[in-house]
Amino acid sequence: MQIVFWITVGILIAMPDVIAYKRKCKDRLKIAKLSYFLSWTIFGWVVAMAWAIWGESDPEGFAKARRQCYFLDHHNPGS
């Protein structure tokens, strides 16, 4: 029964991050940090969830960051 509890807690802690990622929020890294480091206060988790739901999205910046990551991963001359 404890394993179910801890899996549920892990899913709840990750929810703001997943929502921010899916919405392409501008501040998704800050939301992730807030969620992981302050979710134990419950207030921190609520703030992270609200920020993920109502935060400003930035699809163009998100696409640009993904292209840069792809470029760095696949075009590294040293590997």
Instruction: Tell me if 21 sits within 8 A of 62, measured CB to CB.
Output: no
Show the tokens assigned to 48.
Answer: 């992270």
Instruction: Tell me if 38 sits within 8 A of 74, measured CB to CB.
Output: no
Phi, psi (degrees; rounded to nearest 5) at 57 = -95, 155
pTM exceeds 0.85, yes or no: no
Residue-wise pLDDT tens digits, 17-63: 999 888 888 888 888 888 889 888 889 889 999 999 888 877 666 56
Residue with the two structure tokens 């709840």: 12
- Domain ranges, ordered by start, for the chain: 2-74
Burial (0-12, 13-18, 19+ Cβ within 10 Å), 16: buried
